[in-house]
Amino acid sequence: MLENIAQGFGQLSDMSVRIAAAAEEQTAVASGMKQNIDSINVTAGATEARGGEISRAGTDVAAQAHALSRLVQQFKI
């Protein structure tokens, strides 16, 4: 009887060690996922900013092309 109890405690101890190890692994995985998500968030923000810059540059180029077209129309051949 006492041997069975001791054996049961040993099994409980082993399970506790495995559960603790699994919890540590999950914590490490969750931390890695958070870092990846943070990195994606930073990249998305930078991409959005660059998209705005490209849009403004396109608008500027269109305005310059329009102005150049008006100037070219003034020339007579």
**Cα distance between residue 34 and residue 36, in whole Å:** 5
pLDDT in tens, 37-71: 999 999 999 999 999 999 999 999 999 999 999 99
How many percent of the chain have pLDDT more than 70? 100
Is the pLDDT reported for residue 10 higher than 80? Answer: yes
Is the pLDDT reported for residue 1 higher than 90? Answer: no
pLDDT reported for residue 66: 97
* Range(s) of the domain holding residue 19: 1-77
pLDDT (mean) for 11-32: 96
Split into its structural domains, the chain has a count of 1
Alpha helices (H) in 2-74, listed in sequence order: 2-73
